[in-house]
Structure formats: C-alpha cells, structure tokens
Amino acid sequence: MFDRCLIHVHSILSVDSADQHSIAETPSGESVWNDLHALMRQILLYISKGYNMTNFVETRDTRNGTASVLADVTLNWVKVVAPVPGYNGGKPQYELQIATDNADQALAWSDVMPNIKLVPEGTTTFTLKRPAFLGAPAMVWEDGAAMEVSSRKMIGNGSVGDVKISHKQHPKTGRPYVCLEAVKLKALVEYVADTTEYANDFDF
C-alpha cells in the first residue's frame, strides 16, 4: 500500500514543467498548484519518516523514540494513582487493561503490540504497564486539562479514552515491548466499590 502511495506522490511531484506552467496560467492556478505540491510533500515526509495512521492507531517516530496513540480504547482495572506489585510479586508498576470487541481495532493493535493475543470472536484485552520508578503516567481530560488525583481514583471499568504507549526493546534480550505513557479520558464510567461481600456479613 505504501509503495503504491509513494509512486503516486512521486508522479505528482514530477509533473512535466510544461504541464505545471499550463496549470499556473489558469485563474488561481499557481496557488492551487503550490498548495497541492505542499500537501504531497507533507504526505511523502510522513511516509518516509515511518508515520502510520489508521482509525484506531497512530504511530510516529520522534527524537525520543517511537510512540503510538491507541484511539477510543475501553479501559478496565485502571491503577494509575499508586503503583501495585508486578506479576508474581514483581517490581511495583502502574497498569491498566485495554479492551475491544472490534476485530479490526484489535488487529490494528497487534501491528504495534506484537505480544497481544487476538480473540477473533470475543473481547481482546491487553494489560499495559509502566515501571513505578518512571512515575505515574500522564492523565488528562479530553480538553487537555490535567486530571486531579481524586478523579483518577474514579475511573471505573468501561471508561473510554486514548492511550499513548512508547515502543522499547529489552536491554538484555532485545525483545520489543511497550510502556504506558499517557491517557486522555473521553468518557468516564465512575468506579463504584463493590460492598456486596461486606453487606452479606450482616445477614443473620
């Protein structure tokens, strides 16, 4: 797909000078041609720099490494206020689970998270983690305003947001992995503590 796009962009940028001149002679033609040229060069720049965007994932290479934004993600088990023990008593970390019932969205995730296990007919989930020593992930509302700690505690299962991850390699094994970086909350489902178990204690 990208190869075909590159060929098409190059063909536009390489239009014969005589054709360019005839376009420029039309009313506002020069302005239109310049705008088209600028657009095509921007597209070519994005492609050459490894820019990749779908309806579900946007990935860019930056000076700080490669990062992806996962759009409109369902959030579960959000633990971003205080670190929790890692798997099997491992090092403390912040974590949250992302989930989707959309097979196309899950497939887009697999392009940037090779360790994810797809569920073709059902809900695909993946737990994103962030080492505690890096500090808590950035948390903002949809308008970009920083989210207060009290609000972070209220993020319940089923909330929706955009999640930013960074792409890294294990220093010893070289295996790729992703790190939770930030969350933009778009739809809040407030967390409600389950007190059923405690309530049953008072049944005689």
**pLDDT on residue 194:** 77
Q: What is the pTM of this model?
A: 0.69
Nearest partner of 184 among 153, 163, 159, judged by Cα: 163
- Asked whether 68 and 167 are in contact (CB, 8 A), the reply is yes
CATH code assigned at 117: 2.40.50.140
Same domain, 34 and 106: no
- Asked whether 43 and 52 are in contact (CB, 8 A), the reply is no
Q: Which domain holds residue 157?
A: 54-187
**pLDDT on residue 71:** 96
Same domain, 32 and 122: no
Strand partners, 53: 58
Nearest partner of 165 among 46, 57, 55, judged by Cα: 57
Same domain, 40 and 68: no
Residue type, 84: V
Same domain, 25 and 118: no
**3-class SS of residue 33:** helix
For the chain, the domain total comes to 2
Same domain, 161 and 128: yes
The pLDDT tens digits along the chain (204 residues) read 444 444 444 454 455 545 545 544 555 556 655 666 666 665 554 444 444 455 899 999 888 889 999 999 999 999 999 999 988 778 999 999 999 999 999 999 999 998 899 998 999 999 999 999 999 999 999 999 999 999 999 999 999 999 999 999 888 888 889 999 999 999 999 998 876 655 555 453
Tokens of 155: 């993020």
d(CA 40, CA 16): 16
Query: Other CB atoms closer than 10 Å to residue 112's CB: what's the count?
Result: 21
Same domain, 44 and 60: no
